[in-house]
Structure 1
Amino acid sequence: MKTTTTGLAAGVLAGLLGLTTACVAPATGTAAGSPAAGTSATAGGHKRIAFFGFARANAFASATWAGIEEYAKAHDAEAEFFDPNFDAQTQVQQIQDAVTSKRFDVFVVQANDGAAVVPAVKQAVAAGITVVAEFTPVGTRYDTAESQVPGVITLIDVPTDNGRVLGELGVAACRSRKLDPCEVAYLEGFKSLPLDNARTEAAVKALTAEPGVKLAARVEGGYTKESGRKAMQDVLQSQPGVDVVIGSSQAVAGAESVLKGKDVLLVGNGGSRQAVRAVQEGRWFATYCLPERTAGAKAAELGLAKARGQNVSETNSETSLAPGGGKGTKDALAGVQGEYDE
């Protein structure tokens, strides 16, 4: 995902981060899949973690940081947030400077630009620092959770898996009404972003592989309520009989305002409190959600364990931490709430 220093690029990435917000079951007060306190990661001496997040002001990165910081404090470690404010080159420089400082044992990297950080990440690995790639891939492939840099641990949301699940949820929505044909509108993010294109193609493939499901519209819906509202208005002009709408949680919220009184099933891409509540109340059919605060804690757990000489899995997917594997249907989200607001 290419991110530049322009305000537009920063805004685009900030919107993308609203996609996959966190889900947590309140009954236990612990995020789904979060590491248990007192694990063997406490062995091996005091460690320091550097977190290279998207931006300190971003709620998504703040949720990741909260998980990292909480886990570090409970396991004889301390953590520091390096804030590039969505600037890819600033983030690269921060990683390089942290390597030179020799102050840290573990890096957790939320890459603003997965390709741009590769040289700096390789430098960190060569210096003996444990590196965990969190949420976004470090590299140029969007179809795998496997590490694209030797020695790097991954804990990511694979974009093509995200798209496939969205498509499958759209198919499930069609089946729930026994619609044949079932007309689906897909409100993709931004056609200019490779990550978004990979997600979209995977969603379209899952939808069109199902007999009786017709992709009636594929338009850019973006990551705001306003862009979703406008996209839905455009869709209805050409496809007034659409049955299912899929898009970012923000875009779907905007589309919902246009669809008042219409019997249309909605599938969002994001697990904020607002999106989860919409599914639980029956206003949306489903939403894709992952526990991001939990993911932050898990990234810290993996990094500290490896830094302390333990064997850890190099390849990890965030969907393993989520209720329903990210498929946030009403049943899967029973008793669940988002970890933070959009």
Structure 2
Amino acid sequence: MIRVARPLAISLVAVAALTACSNPNNNNDAGTGAAASAVPADKKLSIGFFGFAKANSFAQATWAGVQEYANANNAEATFLDSNFDGPTQVNQLQDAVTSKRYDVMIVQANDGTAVVNPVKQAVAAGITVVVEFTPIGGKYDTIEPQVPGTINIIDPPTVNGDGLAKMALEGCQTVTDGACKVAYFQGFANYPLDTARTEAAVNALKAGGASEVISNFVGGYTPDSGRGAMQNLLQAHPDVNVVIGSSQALQGATPLAAGKKITFVGNGGSQQAYDFVEKGTWYGTYAMPEKAQGAKAAELGIKKARGETVPEATDACSTLTDYACLGTKDKLAGKTADYSD
């Protein structure tokens, strides 16, 4: 996978709006959209942030970064809440394209395949589109644009899964001298992003020597759902050594491991996750500085809308951190979390 930024083409070719039956993996008919006229620096830009959900702390961190950069650079941002629902987000995007109410659209896709067509239509309409965090298209292992004309600042789910597995295998050595049994809590069942991440993590764990990998429990993204998953896990597998899950889920799961030789690997860079790692309760957490990524997405979008040349593909972890998001105790020492769960 290419993990370096490369410049956008200076000019974009105009195309007609694309039909809803387009193949999301076939870019041959996508073109690169109508060239948007550069917006003068003295005109306020309007940014639409299509985030996962307003109730989600991770999306709120992204939103804080978007807002902060927008407010400091003559732009106004709006959070469009899809509440983790793919069809709702598709409708929001379609409405935004029709109304042309936003100069810049920052998309944190719930379903990277479902939103392909409205994103193509936005590019064709001359709207600047920034793909943030989750790839848009049928591939979840690349930062490269799958919709030509978009700007992409991404952490591929497969890379995320590999990183979680790497830390879990290292964590095995802190709790057992022999065979290591690892449980992976899925975020949402049948959620495209989670499916790709889970598959990558499970494959890496097996290839790395885990004696058993358990991946049939859904931990979700709340302490309550994580607590329920941990209760079920301990009933079925009381000898588990390492548990991987979202940082929110593991906050509910961790107290149930008191007195047991179990360590955890979180997925998220919240203050709570940092504290667990600092205390040694968790071996590590996949710590994406999400507020910084939101700010970077806004920066790229605003600059592109004002006629500047910006990278079309940026690897978020290698660009925004010096530790590839693998937040073990030594790597997070002295660092401050972007947000609180």
Q: Tell me if TM exceeds 0.5.
A: yes
Equivalent positions of 1:151-190 (< 5 A) are 151-176=149-174, 179-190=177-188
Q: Could you tell me whether the CA contact under 8 Å between 2:175 and 2:241 is conserved in 1?
A: no
Query: Would the alpha carbon gap of residues 221 and 53 (structure 1) be closer, same or farther in structure 2, given more than 3 Å must change?
Result: closer
Q: Partner letter of residue 273 of structure 1?
A: Q
Match of 1:35 in 2: none
Instruction: Choose the corresponding residue for 1:284, options 275, 282, 285.
Output: 282
SS at match of 2:131: strand
Q: Is 1:217 aligned to residue 214 of structure 2?
A: yes
* Mapped partners of 1:253, 1:105: distance in 2: 39
Equivalent-residue separation in structure 2 for 1:153 and 1:203 (angstroms): 27
Q: Secondary structure at the match of 1:154?
A: strand
In the TM superposition, what is the alpha-carbon distance from 1:257 to its structure 2 partner? 1.9
How far has the Cα of 1:293 moved from its partner?
A: 1.3
* Alignment partner of 1:296 is 2:294: yes
Cα distance in 2, alignment partners of residues 313 and 261 from structure 1: 49
1:222 to partner: Cα distance? 1.6
TM-score normalised by structure 1 residue count: 0.79
CA distance in 2, matches of 1:113, 1:119: 12
Q: Distance in 1 between matches of 2:118 and 2:269?
A: 32
Q: Distance in 2 between matches of 1:196 and 1:294?
A: 23
Superposed CA RMSD? 2.5
Residue in structure 1 matched with residue 7 of structure 2 by the alignment: none
Aligned to 1:333: 332
Q: What TM-score do the two structures reach when normalised by structure 2?
A: 0.79
Q: Which structure's relative contact order is higher, taking Cα pairs within 8 Å and 6+ residues apart?
A: 1
Return the alpha-carbon distance in structure 2 between the equivalents of residues 232 and 85 of structure 1. Answer: 25
Q: Is the CA contact 1:137–1:145 (under 8 Å) kept in the aligned structure 2? A: yes
Following superposition, the deviation at residue 103 of structure 1 comes to 4.0
Aligned-partner Cα distance in 1 for 2:108–2:268: 18
1:126-166 deviations in whole A, cap 9, x for unaligned? 11111001122222322222211111111122111111000
Note the alpha carbon deviations across 1:109-138, whole angstroms, 9 max, x for none.
122332222221111111111100112222
| 1:165-193 C-alpha deviation (Å, 9 max, x unpaired) | 00000111124467232222222333322
Structure 2: distance between partners of 1:328 and 1:160: 17
Where does residue 126 of structure 1 map in the other structure? Answer: 124
The aligned length equals 301
Shift of 1:277: 0.5
Evaluate the alpha carbon distance shift between residue 89 and residue 246 of structure 1 in structure 2; reply closer, same or farther with a 3 A threshold: closer
1:324 paired residue number: 323
Equivalent of 1:53 in 51, 54, 60: 51
Q: How do 1:82-161 and structure 2 match up within 5 A? A: 82-161=80-159
Distance in 1 between the 2:135 and 2:327 partners? Answer: 23
8 Å CA contact 1:189, 1:220 repeated in 2: no
Distance in 2 separating the partners of 1:235 and 1:87: 28
- Contact 1:42–1:76, Cα closer than 8 Å, also in 2: no
The alpha-carbon deviation at position 85 of structure 1 amounts to: 4.1
Q: For the residues of structure 2 that align with 1:145 and 1:299, how far apart are their CA atoms?
A: 14
**Are residues 250 and 84 of structure 1, via their aligned partners in 2, closer, same or farther at CA, if it must alter by over 3 Å?**
closer
| Unaligned segments of structure 1, at least 5 residues | 1-40
Percent of matched pairs sharing the same residue:
55
Q: CA, structure 1 residues 56+210, in 2 after alignment: closer, same or farther (shift >3 Å)?
A: closer
- Residue 84 of structure 1 and its aligned partner are, at CA, apart by 3.7
Residue ranges of structure 2 left out of the alignment (5+ in a row):
1-37
1:49 touches 1:104 (CA, 8 Å); kept in 2? yes
Amino acid at match of 1:50: G
Give the CA deviation at 1:336. Answer: 2.3
